[in-house]
Structure 1
Amino acid sequence: MLSLTESLVDKLNYHGKTYQLDLAFDTVLKFYELLDDDNLEDSEKISVAFEMFMGFTPDDADFAIAVFQKINQYIAKQPYGDEGEPNVDGNGQAVTPQKYYSFTQDAEAIYASFREQYGINLLQERGKLHWDEFKALFAGLGPNTYFQRIVEIRTRDTSKLEGQALNDTLKSQQYYELNENKTEKAREQQFTGFMNTLKAWAQS
């Protein structure tokens, strides 16, 4: 998580030894894309992920598991904690909030919004802009940026709209609809599956 008094995290300590980490924003985004890649087996994803973050695939199973737990906890960490009590449906079951953006599908809108608001060319920042910096800037994108206008359309309440206004909004929501809505719980389950494969690999 970004700190104004401490250096950006780019190293990991394990049993007294320090390892360099690649936590550039594009590396983290590639990792999330890797989790979504149906063309690779989880065992292949493990090797690719280690190469992405650390530049090698370790032989030590305990090390491998500990490292990915630490990396996942770090990149998923939010500055303001959780969002309070979970929402529940009519049956009292917890309802996970729906995601309204995709780093992959909304890549062009995010790129355009960073250029518009910050004057930052994300293509030129690959390998340089730290994940913590990217995450803070991403969270600070204003309501008039291209990306946030798309999010506003996706989250717009249509219950009180009618006529042409309703028709136009539904068309816009359909146009900008995500190909695949990912929830936070789905992301957690996805990573859990990845970790289970990693543990199975470690015990083999």
Structure 2
Amino acid sequence: MDDFDLIVASFTTQYGLRIRDIKDMRWSEFKSLLIGLGPNTILGRIVSIRAEDDSEVLKNFTKDQQRIRNEYRLKKAKRPGNKKEAEKASEMFEKVFWEMAGLNTSELSRQ
């Protein structure tokens, strides 16, 4: 399951929203809702696993939790630390969001 699937599931769980059905939500509202996702959503639980650094807690991780954490750390280590790359990724994510909402990406500049 990739992060987008986690976001979709978490929006449905917490807000009762189906992202693919949202047609007129602004990007800023989407980001606010994303930031507001709680720890009881699938994304919240995964983020907690990925971010854990307490050695005592890590000792008690299940094999699945260890796998989730290790996969994320490996993926993170391969990412470029370049601000331009991060901005490009953010723009791509925004484009995907708008396309899912059924809007042409040329409409982005008008939003």
TM-score by length of 2: 0.60
Q: Find 1:121's aligned residue among 18, 30, 36.
A: 18
Quote the Cα distance in structure 2 between the aligned partners of 1:136 and 1:150: 19
Quote the Cα distance in structure 2 between the aligned partners of 1:141 and 1:157: 21
Distance 1:155 1:114, change over 3 A: same
Gaps of 5+ in 1: 1-104, 193-204
Percentage of identical aligned residues? 31
- What corresponds to 1:132 in structure 2? 28
Moved over 4 A (4+): none
Alignment pair present for 1:177 and 2:52: no
Gaps of 5+ in 2: 89-111
Quote the Cα distance in structure 2 between the aligned partners of 1:113 and 1:134: 13
Instruction: State the 1:179 CA deviation.
Output: 6.7
Instruction: State the 1:172 CA deviation.
Output: 3.7
Q: Is the 8 A contact 1:158 1:166 kept in 2?
A: no
Q: What is the aligned length?
A: 83
- Computed over aligned residues only, the root mean square deviation of the Cα atoms, in angstroms, reads 2.8
TM-score by length of 1: 0.35
**Structure of greater Rg:** 1
Alignment pair present for 1:144 and 2:65: no
Q: Which has the higher helix share?
A: 2
